[in-house]
Structure 1
């Protein structure tokens, strides 16, 4: 469970940073949230797949 939480928090940080990089001041915030959420989902999936293939999970 601890390793899953580490992957989750790592993915949240990656999603937040990606959203901040993608955001432009004059643009609406909706697409930025969707982009950050997509990056979060992708990084969480990638992290879990790598840990599963290494037989950590």
Structure 2
């Protein structure tokens, strides 16, 4: 599938936004009252990286990127 450069950039931006939403939800779920926020931020960062890698790998395998 041949997509223009602008469409590819939009697809990557959508993947980044989806990963940010997943990271925020993971951080909120992992945070417990009374504990430092740094653990939740670290957990959210790991979720962001994992989700972004997974999204980009799937799109690359499908031939979109």
TM range (shorter): over 0.9
Larger radius of gyration: 2
TM-score, normalised by the number of residues in structure 2? 0.86
After TM superposition, which residue ranges in structure 1, 4 or more long, deviate above 3 angstroms? none
Structure 2 residue ranges without an equivalent (≥5): 1-8
Name the SS of the counterpart of 2:64 in structure 1. coil
TM-score, normalised by the number of residues in structure 1? 0.98
Equivalent pairs, count:
57
Q: How does 1:1-57 map to 2 (within 5 A)?
A: 1-57=9-65
Q: CA RMSD in A?
A: 0.3
